[in-house]
Amino acid sequence: MSINRRQVLWGSGAIGAAALLSACSGNDSSAGSAGGKPKKGGTLRIGALGRAGAITRDPHGTQGNESDYLILALVYDTLAVPGAKENTVPRLASGWKPSKDLKTWRFTLAKGATFHDGSPVTAEDVVWSLKRLRNTPSGTARLPGIKAKNIRAEGSDTVVLVSDYANAELPLMLRFTTFVLKKGTKDKDIEKAPGTGPFKLDWYKGGNARLVRNDKWFKRAPYLDAIEVKMFETPQAMANALLAGQIDVASNGGAIAARTAKSRSDVKVIRRRDDMAMPIVMRTSDGPFADPKVREAMRLVVDRDAMVKQVLSGYGTVANDVMGTGDPAYDRKLPQRKRNVKKAKKLLKEAKFDFDKTYELITTEDISGLAESATLFASQARDAGVKIKVVKQESGTFYEKTWLKGTLYTNYWGTNDSVLFYASKTLTSGAGQNETDWHDEDFDAAYRKVIKTADQKARTAALREVQKIEYERSGYLLWGMADGIDLAASKVQGLPELPGYGRVQLENVWLR
């Protein structure tokens, strides 16, 4: 999802079923409460997507596999997480408070938080972890506006972060990869480093792992005795394993698997509405899509209704080229773009677009429907005289050669709650994952105005300008939002419904 696009997606994320507890109120985002009173015991077998060539064990590394990120998210805690009622709620941090100028933030650690070896979590551990995270190649994206030198401890339980600029939404930016390790952990010891999360690593082998309950977790011991994570390379193989009774949960099984499961009384479908953004990315700094008229034409060529119906089998909704459709401040008054081939042709001619050339659209098969979306879009573009050749790349090759560099490619993000999240991570000029290589001074200024505004009502009003500029000029063609779909055996209870990172924790899951 670097806080890579898949990490954000699960992030990002794009991982497994999950439940969230607010540090203050015990928010329960899980589904299936009708199954009765939760009980302890049992081992949950969960399938998650991944490829052997993309395996990583470092909590601060690039998690290209859902399976790895699921494991890390169960073993390690982040400072904050998405909430069921609010965008951001405490996790390893019990709370936070900004200075009047919104530049200095103090995060207080949760009382009783310990590592799996029994040692207490201190502010020095968190500071060391955040500095390590900041010093990764994509550190600016992970901790936007925060330099490593401006992270410090204040006493044993307070972490101070000083931003380069006023940022009213800093806690939101820290939700996904602020995994905390013990201070001084050496790189060679990372794979066995104790975490603070609800589960402890028992063993790991080739993308598969067994995790056991952390009875001393500072919130509440999970219900499950253990979780076994099994890695699958395709959604279909994972769904088949679920239907054959080899696993209990198929994480992100996809629409095809959901249709198949409908006829099975022993399998239930957990559906998270509008869980995953599926944009087509156009490079704006150079090449054929540098001209805003060409980008607008591409957005008019696509038949969004057909994409949702055919690619997502109806398990999704039409989008409108602004990332973050789940944001409470998402501007639904922006005119919904509809297919207009005639206008698209006119814009292309005005831009002196080369109709004789064939353009490559790079895609992967990382998730169900991604490659299919590229193929259908290429077919639709032919109606406007645009010739597109779909090229499929293996996941590792895509990350190395295409992502952040390509001219035209498909993508997916699995956190859908904040327009500002995408603005900070992928759209401002200094964004660490500026996928479209977009640099727009008006957008940058509008973004800065939003994040330095403390008043929620005023910030919402200012956010309209951010969305308007993105809608009109960015390099994203966001045609649709896919529903997140998990398949589960009927005995599995407490599966969550929150999207993105909100579904990578399993402490509320139990077996009937």
DSSP for 47-60, please give it. EEE--GGG----TT
CB proximity list for 100: less than 8 A, separation 6 or greater? none
Q: What's residue 163's pLDDT?
A: 96
Question: Band of the pLDDT at 500, cuts 50, 70, 90?
Answer: low
Once rounded to an integer, what is the mean pLDDT over residues 306-328?
94
Question: Which residue did the predictor score with more confidence, 172 or 345?
Answer: 345
pTM of the model: 0.83
Comparing 15-29, 310-324, 352-366, the range with the smallest average pLDDT is 15-29
Which pLDDT does position 502 carry in this prediction? Answer: 66
The arithmetic mean of pLDDT across residues 172-194, rounded, is 91
Q: In whole numbers, what is the pLDDT of the chain averaged over residues?
A: 89
**What are the φ and ψ backbone dihedral angles of 210, each rounded to 5 degrees?**
-125, 130
Rg value, the chain, Cα: 22
Q: CATH number for the domain including 349? A: 3.10.105.10
Cβ contact 102:268 at 8 Å? no
What's the rounded Cα separation, in Å, for the pair 65 and 141? 19
Confidence band of 499 (pLDDT split at 50, 70, 90): low
Residue 175 has what pLDDT? 80
Residue 137 lies inside a defined structural domain of this protein: no
Band of residue 302 on the pLDDT scale cut at 50, 70, 90: very high
Does a structural domain hold residue 262?
no
> Would you say residue 127 has pLDDT above 70?
yes
Whether residue 3 contacts residue 432, with contact meaning beta carbons closer than 8 Å, is answered with yes
Asked whether residue 159 is assigned to any structural domain, the reply reads no
User: 């709620």: which residue's tokens?
Assistant: 89
pLDDT average, residue stretch 216-234 = 96
Query: Residue 327: what pLDDT?
Result: 87
Determine, yes or no, domain membership for 195.
no
Query: Which amino acid would we find at residue 437?
Result: D
Report the range of poorest mean pLDDT among 365-369, 479-483, 492-496.
365-369
Domains in the chain, number: 1
User: Which of 424, 422, 429, 363 shows the shortest CA–CA distance to 390?
Assistant: 363
Quote the domain boundaries for residue 345.
275-484
In a domain, 404, yes or no: yes
Report the alpha-carbon distance of residue 402 to residue 407 in Å, rounded.
8
Rounded to an integer, what distance in angstroms lies between the CA atom of residue 448 and that of residue 166?
A: 8
Rounded Cα–Cα distance for residues 370 and 323 (Å): 17
Helices (H), 252-332: 255-261, 292-301, 304-311
At 46, which helix (H) or strand (E)?
strand 43-49
What's the rounded Cα separation, in Å, for the pair 38 and 217?
18
Per-residue pLDDT reduced to its tens digit, 35-64? 689 999 999 999 998 988 889 899 998 877
Does the pLDDT value for residue 383 go beyond 90? Answer: yes
Which is more confidently placed, 282 or 259? 282
Compute the average pLDDT of residues 354-378. Answer: 94
How close are the terminal C-alpha atoms of the chain, in Å?
33
Q: What is the mean pLDDT of residues 191-198?
A: 96
Which pLDDT score, from 0 to 100, does residue 501 have? 65
Residue 324 lies in a domain: yes
SS3 of residue 293 by DSSP: helix
| DSSP at 483 | E
Q: Quick check: is 400 in a domain? A: yes
pLDDT of 469 higher than 90: yes
Best CA proximity match to 56, nearest among 220, 184, 177: 177
Q: Among residues of the chain, what percentage have pLDDT more than 70? A: 92
At 332, the amino acid letter reads R
pLDDT at 361: 98
Taken in order 409, 412, 416, 422, the sign of the CA dihedral is negative
Highest mean pLDDT among 6-15, 86-95, 218-227, 455-464: 218-227
Question: If you search the block for the tokens 């814009």, which residue do you land on?
Answer: 347
pLDDT at 82: 80
**Angle in degrees, 0-180, between the axes of helices 292-301 and 370-381, rounded to the nearest 10:** 100
pLDDT at residue 11 is higher than 70:
no
Query: Is the per-residue pLDDT at 17 higher than 60?
Result: no
Task: Confirm whether 426 is domain-assigned.
Answer: yes
pLDDT at 206: 93
The DSSP result for 205-226, as a single string, is ETTEEEEEE-TT-SS---S-SE
**Nearest-angstrom CA–CA distance, 283 and 289:** 6
